[in-house]
Amino acid sequence: MAEQETFLTPTATYLKSGIHIGTKFKTAYMKKFIYKTRPDGLSVLNLQQIDERIAIAANFLSQFDTEDILIVSRRENGWKPVKMMQKITGIRGVVGRYPPGMMTNSNLEIFIEQKIVLVTDAWPDRNVVMDANKIGIPVIALCDTNNQSNFIDLVVPCNNKGKKSLGLLFYLLTAEFMKKKGMLKEGQEPEFTIDDFTEK
């Protein structure tokens, strides 16, 4: 039991969100995060590794100024959580289509100079991943069992498709980021809830 108490959120909360339920397809890279395969063929991700990687991602992000971080989600279920994290922390978020050249073409009006990016799915968000690689900045990616890890510096294994799963993940990421940044004092509960991050 002692092991579970170190989780960022109770195990039951993780399980309820389906954050650990992967797809039927698994890439060679993601196999190490898979705990088992269910009778229906769906892969189940290791909760402890999910929890550890969320903490590592929050710690990694907290080493950068908020204006130097970019979070991108082409996938619609990630729009609300990304916008919420943006609203609370001031981190820049792009939802929907990522404008080509946003980080690579200094002639564009929308040009920004970021130092790290986080994407909700490396496949639909591949243009961001490629731009980040061109300019040599690290990429954190939420990866399901069917994702490849090419050009990614930190993989956070999770169900990166579900509303509840993404809501919980961004809620935890926001809370941990704020603790590391000193925006939340030790033991202080955030004023926001998981529901604020979850698309109805």
Domain residues for the domain of 109 are 12-178
User: Which H or E run includes 86?
Assistant: helix 79-89
* Entry field: residues in the chain: 200
Q: Looking at the predicted structure, is the pLDDT value of residue 1 above 60? A: no
Residue 2 lies in a domain: no
The DSSP code for 9 is S
Confidence of residue 126 (pLDDT cuts 50, 70, 90): very high
Residue 21 lies in a domain: yes
Residue 4 lies in a domain: no
Share of the chain above pLDDT 90, in %: 92
Full-model pTM: 0.95
pLDDT digits (tens, 9 = 90+) for 25-51: 999 999 999 999 999 999 999 999 999
How far, in Å, CA of 196 to CA of 198, rounded?
6
Residue 192 lies in a domain: no
At residue 5, the pLDDT reads: 56
At residue 4, the pLDDT reads: 46
How many domains are there within the chain? 1
- Write the CB contacts of 22 (distance below 8 Å, at least 6 apart in sequence): 30, 34, 42, 43, 44, 45, 144, 145, 146, 159
Residue 36 lies in a domain: yes
Average pLDDT over residues 2-26: 88
How far, in Å, CA of 123 to CA of 66, rounded?
25
pLDDT digits (tens, 9 = 90+) for 47-64: 999 999 999 999 999 999
Q: Looking at the predicted structure, is the pLDDT value of residue 3 above 70? A: no
Q: Give the CATH number of the domain where residue 149 resides.
A: 3.40.50.10490
